[in-house]
Structures are given as structure tokens and as C-alpha cells.
Structure 1
Amino acid sequence: MKVRAPRHGLARVLSKRGVCSRTEAVRWIVAGRVSVDGRVVRDPEFPIAGDGQQRIAVDGGDLEEARRVYLMLNKPRGLVTTASDERGRDTVYRCFEGGLLDGRPLPWLAPVGRLDQASEGLLLFCNDPAWAARITDPESGPDKTYHVQIDVIPDAALLAAIEQGATHEGEHLRAKAARLLRTGTRNAWVEIVLDEGRNRQIRRLLAAFDIGVLRLVRVAIGGIVLGELPKGQWRALSAAEVASLALP
């Protein structure tokens, strides 16, 4: 019995090959820029077999698998993690304007996870959806480490309570680890490690203990550390770093 190759929608195929986001792929397809076997296709869900036998072209040129690129950015505070913003706010893509890697312009890249507008630090980008999915998987993805300036000076009991967790708006939130880094006269820096990724998790968790966040900086994802990378700058990940983050 002949086994048929699995089929995926055309927009998904463009995204999985790393040439654009799925949203952008839909725009290209609807605009008539994409053809399959010489015929323009305007249906983003048009089935494409996984055997690679169909010829896909964009603007008349054969579609090629984009070179895989993996970057880390030191995200500045105030930028939103999106390609475009309906409110006109600056986005993280401002940091990549005119960027070159090995003498060539950067391909399309998507953020791996998010940092909210007020947060700073390590943010990953790639054009490899499968790799990104492994990093962001809430069950098996790597731990994420943050340095957080808070408006109280915590004692050991409070740090233990943060690790135990609290319910905020019907959702139980907790930290895998919380430890004191240093203190001032009215505030302190703590290190918080998360082994799951929920929207605004640290801010919501600390709010449950009436703790205000003054600054929030992500400093590590798994074994990849922000280090001395300047604010607003990026660098390519090494092959070893890429492989280490993809490990289960």
C-alpha cells in the first residue's frame, strides 16, 4: 500500500521554510504573488504535499529554503515585541534595521517567546518554527532566569512564599526559584527562575504579594546568558548554543 505524503496548507509551508511569517504568507498568497506548479494560488490553505515535488514560486522565483538564522537581542525597555504595532509604538525590529550577518542582509525573523514593553533583556529570534516551538514548550522548554528590582526588601519567608506560589485572577503562579541578589535602602534586586511561560507571569505573581516591579531583566534562557551584550544590540548564536537550547 502506497503511503501518501502528509499535506500542509500553503501559508504554513512558506512559514516553515523560514521565508516569512504565516501572517505575511497569507498576504502574499491572497495578493497573487505565490504560484504552485506554474499556477497562481490565492488560497492560503491550498494543500502542499510534504514530498517536495510541487514547485512553489514567489514573484516568479522558485522558493528556496531560507538559511536558518538564530539570534539573541538585548531588548531595551520601551519596545514592543511585534513586527508592527497598531498604536505606532517602536518595536524590537528597530534593532535589526540595516543588519548584516556574514555580509548578507538578515532574513525574516520571528521572536521566540515575548518580553512585554516594560521588560528588558534576552530575547531570541529565528526563522526556524520547529526550533522555536521546542524553546517555548511549557512542558519541556528551558528555564528562564530574570533579575527583578522590587519595591520591598524581602526576607527568607517571602522568597519561599514566591516559590510556593499564589493564585492571581484564578490562576496559580509560582517561581521555580527566588533568591536575594542585593538590597538598597528601599528596594532590592532578586533573581527569579521560571520553568514555565505565562503571560506577564512574574509581574502577576509578585502583585499577588503586593510587590511592585521597578525593573525586570531577563538574563538567561537555559544555558544562554545575556552577558555583556550592549542594550539594543544583537549577535548570532553559535551552533553549540542552538543545539543546547533544543535539547529535551
Structure 2
Amino acid sequence: MSRPPNRPPAPSEPSGPSRPGPSRPGAAWRRAPASTPASAPAPAPALAPTGPSARPAPRARSAPSAPSAPSPVAAPELPAAEGERLAKRLAREIGCSRSEAERYIESGMVTVDGVVVDTPPSRVRDAQRVALTRGATLSATEPVTLLLNKPPGLVAGIVVGNAADGAAGLLQVRHRATGDRVPPRVEPAHLRRQLCLTPLETTAGGLLVFSQDPRIARRLTEDASQLEHETMVDVAGPVDPALLARLAIDPAEPRAPRAMRVSIGSSSDETTRLRFAIKGHQPGRIERACADAGLKVLAISRLRIGRVPLAGVPVGQWRYLGPEERF
């Protein structure tokens, strides 16, 4: 048996770095070094094996994401108002109607834990003590009349478009004149259902009468033409006697002078204060008389109606009509 010829030994690998050269079939490629320079191209991704023996590639683990903000939780619904309405509690304890209980409360004759409470919608808990004050009696509340010093710019009794009666909004306890002492205490019922009986133009200011008393209402409406209104009017420039006489003449009816008395209160080169005394009140009457005389009106303020004056009430405040005062 002949022996095969001896094959030449395979060339040994050089110890230094390999030099690039032409590839040969069947030649073994060296494994890439552990660290690849940044300039070297990235190796191609390895292909997953296929075939029946192939195993599914393990899932790649994603980097941990930042913790997400907690989802908003709806605020808990507030519980219903605690306790029971004061008027309902009082009506049950003393055996009266709900409306009578409200009158007791509004009159300041009900205490809660020893403190006077005058608002019927107030709520009390079961543990709180509700009682009437000593000597509390339920009598009919007498109607009252209020005198307000209206600031210019507020609607008062004369509806303009959809404007609300802004002057009535000043009928609050905090707007009572500090010098008013009778009665000593303002009852909430005094400020309700007040009717404006002496309207004023929006641009005018001064005395307004609000009342709950039907007798006062009849006096100021049925006898309105007999009640004298004293009004101070500031006009621009000086006013001489001839110009003053023109104020009493109506151009439409020159033979029938206006039913008004006009005098000069004070005068300067810039303004003149005129005093008008007119029976009855007709909106815009003074402005028309001044316009017919060629006078520019700067301000209007009513000071007196009948025998009742404003009596120094500050602008935006009110006082009670005294028991001895009569229109």
C-alpha cells in the first residue's frame, strides 16, 4: 500500500498585526478584537438561526422608563351642610310655625349656645342649645320709612332699559348713618320690601324716600302735587337777575309761568348754585328749564320733601324717618 505524499505544513500566523491581503477560499478569519476603534464601521447584526431546531430569540430588555406621574384622583365630594336650619329647629322646639320662627329669629330674640343669631337659614347641630331670649314675644313688626342720600349715577325708581334699582342696594345695616340713633337696632325685616316713593333721575342725587308704611305711600303719591321739593342745582357760570327770571318761563306756554320758585344760593365766576322749590316732581323738569334759559347743569341734589329734610345724612347712607316727622 502506497503512502500518500507528504503535504507541506500550513504557514504559521505572524505574531504582529495582520496585514490586509486578498482573501482565500477556506481561510480562517481572525476574531475581531474586544475593543473596536470608534472610526471602525459597526459590525453587521447577527442573523437569527432558522430551521426546526431554532429557538426564539430572547426578548430585549428595555431601559427602565422614568416613573410616570400618578393619575389625578377626583376630589372627594363635599358632604352636605351639617346640622338643621335654625328656623326649623326652633319651630319644632317651641311648637310654632316656620314663619313665626323666622320672625323670632329676625327680631334678635333667638340664641344659639347663648349667642344671638338673627339669620333664619343658619344651621345648628344637635348638641347646640337653641332658646328664646327672656321676655321674647312675637308682635307685628311696625312698618318703617327710610331716608337715603342717593349718590349721582344710581338708578332710583326710574327704570332705564334693563337697569336695576341700584339705590335700593344701599339699604344695608352698614350704610346706616352713624348719627341715627332711633331705633337703636336695625332689624332685618326693616330692610325688606321697601318701596321707592320719590324717584330721582340717574344723574341727580339727594333725598330718596323708601317706605313699608301704606300711610306714607298714600301721602307721597296721592298728595304728591301738594308737596314741595327743595332742590339745589349747580350751573356753569354766573346767573344775573334777567337770566333768573327766564327760568320761570316756559317757551311752549309763555303766558303760563312754571310753578317753581328759583333763587340764588351762592355764586362765583365759574359756578352758581340755584335753589329750586317746586311742588310735585316731574323727571327732567329742572334740566329742561335750565336748558331753555341757556344754562348748563353741573349737579342736582334734592334736600327736602314737604317738611322732611335730609338732615345732614352723608352721601350713600340712610336714616330712619323719626316718629315726630311728617311730610
- 1:123 maps to 208
Query: 1:159, 1:83 → 2: CA distance?
Result: 29
Gaps of 5+ in 1: 1-58
Q: CA deviation at 1:195?
A: 0.8
Query: 2:297, 2:237 → 1: CA distance?
Result: 9
3-state SS, counterpart of residue 204 of structure 1:
helix
Decide which structure has greater helix share: 1
Q: Is the 8 A contact 1:134 1:140 kept in 2?
A: no
Q: Per-residue CA shift, 1:202-243, capped at 9, x if unaligned?
A: 1112112221210000011122112321111000011121xx
Decide which structure has greater strand share: 1
- 1:176 maps to 260
3-state SS, counterpart of residue 132 of structure 1:
helix
> What amino acid does structure 2 have at the position aligned with 1:225?
P
> What amino acid does structure 1 have at the position aligned with 2:246?
A
- 1:107 maps to 192
Q: Is the 8 A contact 1:79 1:89 kept in 2?
A: no
Q: Per-residue CA shift, 1:6-61, capped at 9, x if unaligned?
A: xxxxxxxxxxxxxxxxxxxxxxxxxxxxxxxxxxxxxxxxxxxxxxxxxxxxx985
How many residue pairs match? The answer is 183
Q: Is the 8 A contact 2:196 2:211 kept in 1?
A: yes
Which TM-score applies when normalising by structure 1? 0.63
Query: 1:141, 1:122 → 2: CA distance?
Result: 17
Q: Per-residue CA shift, 1:98-135, capped at 9, x if unaligned?
A: 56863411231011121111101111110124422322
Q: CA deviation at 1:154?
A: 1.4
Q: Which residue among 122, 144, 151 is the counterpart of 1:69?
A: 144
- 2:156 maps to 81
Q: Is the 8 A contact 2:147 2:321 kept in 1?
A: yes
Query: 2:280, 2:160 → 1: CA distance?
Result: 27
> What amino acid does structure 1 have at the position aligned with 2:212?
N
Against the structure 1 CA distance between its residues 83 and 183, is the aligned structure 2 distance closer, same or farther, given a 3 Å change threshold?
closer
Structure with bigger RCO (C-alpha 8 Å, 6+ apart): 1
3-state SS, counterpart of residue 218 of structure 2:
helix
- 2:39 maps to none
Against the structure 1 CA distance between its residues 114 and 82, is the aligned structure 2 distance closer, same or farther, given a 3 Å change threshold?
closer
| Structure with bigger gyration radius | 2
Q: Which residue among 217, 229, 237 is the counterpart of 2:301?
A: 217
Gaps of 5+ in 2: 1-96, 101-138, 177-182
Which TM-score applies when normalising by structure 2? 0.49
Identity %: 27
Q: Which residue among 280, 286, 293 is the counterpart of 1:202?
A: 286
Q: CA deviation at 1:176?
A: 2.2
Q: Is the 8 A contact 2:236 2:296 kept in 1?
A: yes
- 1:161 maps to 246
Q: Per-residue CA shift, 1:128-153, capped at 9, x if unaligned?
A: 24422322346653200011001232
Q: CA deviation at 1:160?
A: 2.4
